[in-house]
Chain A
Amino acid sequence: MSGPDLGRLLAMTRKEAREFRRTPFILGAMVVLPLVFIVEPLIDIFRLGSSTPASAVQKVVGVTFLLMLIVPAVLPSTIAAYSVIGERDQGTLEPLLTTPVRRSELLLGKALAAMIPSVLVSYVIFGVVLLAAHLFAANQTVVATLSNGPEILAEVLFAPLLSGWSIAVGTGISARASDVRIAQQLGTLASLPPLAVTALVSFQVLTPSVPVAVGFGLGFLVIDIAMWRVVAAMFDRERLITGARALAARGGGGGGTPPGTVRRIQMVQGGDHE
């Protein structure tokens, strides 16, 4: 078996991106989440006076890092949960699966489309918070801790890895669930556990250092890959199609004539009937 075809994979990504741009709830989430997650930590940071004790500062820093990772963890799970059921509800999964597209191309194409905006949004949030802290924060310790190399590295690495987990879980749920909303709620819940791990780093139960950040990053990567294997195996053509039976709009297809007993004899002039 050859690997996934990049052209088909990116075609899926492009299609998804076009749909997202025209889906109000996804657009809304991309606008509202950054606002909330920029304003909330900044309020805490600006409240710190220049002489606040170090332990209190550390707490704010911890919460800030954690908040920064909520977006890449939660946003893509919502998008991914929508993506498979959305196709099924529109009846687009069936024509899609009759093309030569492979499972991996379809899933990775969709995953990429959910991951790119989520990670970008989270980097923008992080950048804005860092910049605002540098420019306006009264407490210099918080600025220094936020700009700590290992912590930034953890932030940059964890965002895509957390989103990879969330997308895998969201897609898996989406492939099995029968209702968009339930799928999204389950997806959101399932995206939270890895955050607990990052909380350990954020609150310095584990001292952030480059090895710790990279170590956790690798751990996430392994889990992500394993999770994707599981999801790909769940993504079964036949199941998706036949399981969709109850959902798929049946068009006007149900309106056949019931068999009756009427016999119609058609009169045709001899020889004319060819």
Chain B
Amino acid sequence: MVQPTPGLGGEGAALPARDGPALRVSGLTKRFGDRAAFEDVSFEVARGEVFGFLGPNGAGKTTTVRTLGTLIAPTSGSAEVAGLLLSPQNGEAIRRRISVMPENPGLYARLTVRENLELFASLYGLRSPGERIAMALDAVRLAERSDDRCGRLSKGLRQRVGLARALLNDPEVIFLDEPTSGLDPVAAREVHDLINGWRQRGVTVFLTTHRLEEAERLCDRVAILNTRLRSVGSPKDLRASLFGGSLVVETATPLPDPRAVFAGVAAVREWTDGGHGAYVLSVADPRQAAPQVARAVVAAGADLVSLAESQHSLEDVYLQLIDDDGSAPQ
């Protein structure tokens, strides 16, 4: 099981390891008036997991983060956050165990980076605030900008201050609402590296994003939300469940009778002729089917040029699921 990280050495490390998932959400719904921001959402996030939360604009991602972050009350349903039941009574206790970086990092523009962090260190009641602040600044490589006013920092740097702030209380669960939106690829990469670092230390990360390649690269599992939860799973499982596997076979010259060749391979369910000697085969398990296909093609006397698995990206999965809903909400 994941232990609180001794390396982080903060307040959280003194707490015993807790059992149970980091997040358990069941039938959660939030309505504004008669419009549902999200509806009947259920999922679990294990401790130490990096969990991606994807969905189009207006899907309810931010509202979900705010609800789990104790800022707004759900209309119905229940949830456990960091082992505590989401309820007004537990609000303060939950807030001690989590941190939230909102869509807009929300820094005091007139205060320096350090002064911003000092405020939050005091609000968390940290025992050695100076040390924690230094550690958080180091983690986001901002130590030498610590005396700059936040209003004068670039967007990427401000985002990093927000991340440093989220680290201060050594949280069990970190909620990041689109942490890389508006960042250039290098800055986004730095944020990714940070998140990967947290994963290695066993911190649970709940990450909302529009960037599918980001989710694919970082997340152990992703949920796709469009007011209702459309799907939850690892990117790989989602691809497999939605599209199955497929193999692309290329031969030097077109097969004289492809039907006969592929019909003889039990693993091939369907096939299409891509022209110029290329064939796309639909199979249950590409790794198991590939050797059989290779043997069959060679046995038919053809020259096999390549045999590759064709993969659908997470984007395909996403677009497929969101498309199924018709037009996205705004």
Query: Does B bind A?
Result: yes
Binding site for B on A (CB under 8 A): 5, 7-8, 10-12, 14-15, 18-19, 22-23, 90-102, 237-238, 241-242, 248-271, 273
- A261-B181 contact given A237-B71, A241-B72, CB 8 Å threshold: no
Q: Which residue of A lies closest to B57 (CB)?
A: A256
In the complex, chain B residues 141-196 whose Cβ is within 8 Å of any chain A Cβ: 155, 162, 165, 169, 178, 181-182
Q: Which residue of A lies closest to B208 (CB)?
A: A253
Q: Which residue of A lies closest to B318 (CB)?
A: A259
Interface of B is mostly: mixed
B290 within 8 A of A: yes
Interface of A is mostly: loop
Interface hit among B38-46, B94-102, B130-138, B257-265: B94-102
Q: List 6 A-B contacts (CB under 8 A).
A: A91-B104, A93-B106, A238-B71, A252-B182, A266-B313, A270-B308
Min CB distance, B4 to chain A, in Å?
A: 18
Q: With A and B bound together, what is the CA distance between A66 and B62 in angstroms?
A: 51
> B122–A94 contact, CB under 8 A?
no
B322 within 8 A of A: yes
> B104–A266 contact, CB under 8 A?
no
B92 within 8 A of A: yes
> B319–A262 contact, CB under 8 A?
yes
Cβ–Cβ < 8 Å partners of A15 in chain B: 108, 111, 115, 119
Q: With A and B bound together, what is the CA distance between A7 and B311 in angstroms?
A: 55
- A98-B71 contact given A259-B322, A266-B311, CB 8 Å threshold: yes
B73 within 8 A of A: yes
Cβ–Cβ < 8 Å partners of B66 in chain A: 94, 241
Min CB distance, B311 to chain A, in Å?
A: 5
Min CB distance, B154 to chain A, in Å?
A: 13
Q: With A and B bound together, what is the CA distance between A12 and B119 in angstroms?
A: 7
Specify which of A97, A98, A259, A270 is in contact with B319 (CB 8 Å cutoff): A259
B310 within 8 A of A: yes
Q: With A and B bound together, what is the CA distance between A102 and B88 in angstroms?
A: 12
Cβ–Cβ < 8 Å partners of B199 in chain A: none
Cβ–Cβ < 8 Å partners of B125 in chain A: 5, 7-8, 100
- A261-B319 contact given A11-B119, A90-B108, A242-B72, CB 8 Å threshold: yes
> A19–B71 contact, CB under 8 A?
no
Q: Which residue of A lies closest to B95 (CB)?
A: A100
Cβ–Cβ < 8 Å partners of B102 in chain A: 91, 94-95, 98
> B308–A18 contact, CB under 8 A?
no
Q: Which residue of B lies closest to A256 (CB)?
A: B210
Q: With A and B bound together, what is the CA distance between A22 and B108 in angstroms?
A: 11
> B105–A95 contact, CB under 8 A?
yes
Cβ–Cβ < 8 Å partners of B92 in chain A: 100, 102
> B181–A252 contact, CB under 8 A?
yes
| Besides the known contacts A251-B104, A266-B311, 14 further A-B residue pairs in the complex with CB atoms under 8 A apart | A94-B106, A95-B162, A97-B71, A98-B98, A99-B95, A99-B124, A238-B72, A241-B72, A242-B72, A254-B57, A258-B328, A267-B248, A270-B286, A273-B311
Most buried by A among B71, B100, B106: B106
> B308–A251 contact, CB under 8 A?
no
Q: With A and B bound together, what is the CA distance between A265 and B62 in angstroms?
A: 30
Q: Which residue of A lies closest to B316 (CB)?
A: A263
> A264–B110 contact, CB under 8 A?
no
Min CB distance, A31 to chain B, in Å?
A: 18
B70 within 8 A of A: yes
> B181–A259 contact, CB under 8 A?
no
B103 within 8 A of A: yes
> B310–A253 contact, CB under 8 A?
no
Cβ–Cβ < 8 Å partners of A98 in chain B: 69-71, 95, 98-100, 102
